[in-house]
């Protein structure tokens, strides 16, 4: 009996080679619409599906293959005599191969189309045929990926299509349709409101690249990116250097998020309103934050330095001086195009990755000498609505930390100066990315002391304050006076952090507030002449 294949593809890559082989091997080729025309134009004999179903394509092409003459031919089990008898009774012929790829919903959902126009790119007939063929994989070869066409041709030619190959092709069908349906689900439900956390949480991710290894050399790893939207990683381009490692990518993610957070929360922030101790309305306006270029350095997925500067070179030098030891082998993120002068300075330090909106030709020339240094151009701001963390047998999903200041309440007798307010705004942006417990000390809009990852807040404070004192004593800041501003990612459970801060000359503290013992810290500040602001927003990062 003559074998039959149905070919209906949106993307035509490799399809002429497959169809030509099948035709020469004596197969009958069934096809639809554009694919049928394409094959006919290339002189490959084709039978239009409408002549098999007895019905023309209708409803603007919505109905082409949804018919028993197609699906019975695919789903009939060859080892089931009743199935075969029923096909003979209904004059339906078997279909032995299904080659289908889908309407480009992944791509179209990212375009600026109306909701109704986007809906028209939801494929119905294609997934239905694929799923039918995949279910009956022992008898029907199903192809969705042009990369598999050559293997299929070789197997058919040598009469050697193993059951393992057939099953793998079927598995790829459900892998594709699961991602396709996940993208449609996210589009239909949206990501906020009642369906922010639906009964089943599906992500549509596509393999970007295999990585050499994972967090450690004995672990395997792969980078996947969203198939139905262009997040920050979808808009990144590597200009030079070795392949990114798993740890590079994690650090790169935080570096770029830090750059974007500065622009979102400080550079372009609206004034934040609150109240002072007497109940009077106050406004924190960050428009006067000095410096137009933001740079952040990371090591082991947490900031080791960050600074604002008047240009890239100034910003980088200040970031380097925050911690000239830890930055070695680190990852650098910058908010501006990196120029030659900055590149010459950066070249002096061993860096793993630099990410920025761009690099001048002069900078690229300088970096050519550092062949292993990865240079990444990032064009899309970080704006993921949720974060994900795997747990054994499941996942934790939460909305992204995208609120910096819920309020601006001055809770002490002393009030922060305008300069201290600016330091607070800058510092809290960095605290969002430092591991909890996190304490930062800020001077000259440099994160000169970062204490993080400690199991109690007083240790984090001591670490940050001691580090800050050493940076000041090194001459890296504008003067040799102690830093005045301390940042905390979460509330103070006791007044001990306030008292330690006072010993190091801290004059202003910003923290979320919310402890049952807040009043103890407020009293300590009043006693020591320290201004303290409550933001109402905690930034734990575990």
Residues serving a catalytic function are 135, 300
* 118-39-157 Cα angle (round to 5): 115
Size (the chain), residues = 542
Query: Reduced to 3 states, what is the DSSP secondary structure of residue 126?
Result: helix
Omega before 437 within 30 of 0, i.e. cis:
yes
Q: Rounded to whole angstroms, how far apart are CA atoms 45 and 311?
A: 65
State which H helix or E strand residue 24 sits in: helix 15-24
Residue pair 465/449 in contact by the 8 Å Cβ criterion: yes
Q: Rounded to whole angstroms, how far apart are CA atoms 200 and 194?
A: 14
Pairing of strands 302-309, 330-334: unpaired
Structural Rg of the chain based on CA atoms: 30
How far, CA to CA in Å, does 153 sit from each of 14, 126, 173, 281?
A: 11, 22, 18, 75
Write the DSSP symbol of residue 245.
P
Write the DSSP symbol of residue 195.
G
Q: Rounded to whole angstroms, how far apart are CA atoms 31 and 73?
A: 14
Return the structure tokens found at 536: 């109402």
φ and ψ of 519, to 5 deg: -65, -30
Q: How far is CA 241 from the centre of its chain?
A: 21
Q: Rounded to whole angstroms, how far apart are CA atoms 514 and 535?
A: 10
The region, left, alpha or beta by phi > 0 then psi within -120 to 50, assigned to residue 181 is: alpha
Which residues face 395 on adjacent strands? 390
Residue pair 100/8 in contact by the 8 Å Cβ criterion: yes
Return the structure tokens found at 1: 């009996």
Q: Which residues contact 295 (CB under 8 A, 6 or more apart)?
A: 306, 307, 309, 312, 315, 316, 318, 319, 332, 333, 334, 335
Residue pair 411/435 in contact by the 8 Å Cβ criterion: no
């Amino acid at each position: 009996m003559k074998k039959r294949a149905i070919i209906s593809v949106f993307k035509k890559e490799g399809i002429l080679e497959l169809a030509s082989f099948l035709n020469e091997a004596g197969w009958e080729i069934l096809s639809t619409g554009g694919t049928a025309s394409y094959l006919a134009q290339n002189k490959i004999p084709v039978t239009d599906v409408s002549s098999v179903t007895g019905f023309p394509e209708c409803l603007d092409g919505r109905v082409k293959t949804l018919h028993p003459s197609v699906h019975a031919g695919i789903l009939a089990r060859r080892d089931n005599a009743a199935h075969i008898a029923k096909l003979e009774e209904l004059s339906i012929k078997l279909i032995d191969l299904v080659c289908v790829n889908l309407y480009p919903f992944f791509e179209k959902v990212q375009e600026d189309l109306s909701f109704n126009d986007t809906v028209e790119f939801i494929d119905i007939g294609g997934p239905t045929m694929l799923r039918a063929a995949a279910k009956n994989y022992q008898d029907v070869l199903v192809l969705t990926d042009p990369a598999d066409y050559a293997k299929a041709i070789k197997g058919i030619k040598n009469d050697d299509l193993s059951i393992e190959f057939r099953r793998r092709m079927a598995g790829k069908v459900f892998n594709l349709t699961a991602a396709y349906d996940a993208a449609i689900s996210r589009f239909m439900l949206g990501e906020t409101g009642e369906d922010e956390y639906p009964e089943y949480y599906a992500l549509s991710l596509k393999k970007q690249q295999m990585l050499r290894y994972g967090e450690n050399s004995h672990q395997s790893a792969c980078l996947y990116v969203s198939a139905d939207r262009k997040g920050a990683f979808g808009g990144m381009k590597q200009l030079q250097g070795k392949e990114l490692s798993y740890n590079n990518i994690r650090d790169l993610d935080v570096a770029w998020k830090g750059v974007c957070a500065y622009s979102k929360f400080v550079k372009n922030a609206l004034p934040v309103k609150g109240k002072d101790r007497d109940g009077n309305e106050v406004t924190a306006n960050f428009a006067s934050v000095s410096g137009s270029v933001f740079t952040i350095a990371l090591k082991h997925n947490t900031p080791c330095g960050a600074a604002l500067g008047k240009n890239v070179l100034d910003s980088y030098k200040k970031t380097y001086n925050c911690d000239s030891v830890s930055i070695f082998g680190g990852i650098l993120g910058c908010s501006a195009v990196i120029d030659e002068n900055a590149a010459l300075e950066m070249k002096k330090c061993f860096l793993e990755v630099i990410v920025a909106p761009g690099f001048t030709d002069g900078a690229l020339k300088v970096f050519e000498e550092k062949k292993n240094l990865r240079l990444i151009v990032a064009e899309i701001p970080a704006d993921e609505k949720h974060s994900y963390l795997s747990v054994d047998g499941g996942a934790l999903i939460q909305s992204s930390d995208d609120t910096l200041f819920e309020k601006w309440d001055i809770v002490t007798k002393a009030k922060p100066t305008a300069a201290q307010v600016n330091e607070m705004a800058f510092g809290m942006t960095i605290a969002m990315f430092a591991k909890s417990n996190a304490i930062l000390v800020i001077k000259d809009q440099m994160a000169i002391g970062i204490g993080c990852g400690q199991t109690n807040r007083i240790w984090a404070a001591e670490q940050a304050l001691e580090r800050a004192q050493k940076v000041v004593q090194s001459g890296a800041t504008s003067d040799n006076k102690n830093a005045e501003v301390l940042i905390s990612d979460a509330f103070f459970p006791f007044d001990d952090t306030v008292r330690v801060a006072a010993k190091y000359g801290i004059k202003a503290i910003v923290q979320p507030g919310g402890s049952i013992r807040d009043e103890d810290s407020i009293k300590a500040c009043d006693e020591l002449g320290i201004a303290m602001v409550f933001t109402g927003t905690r930034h734990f990062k575990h």
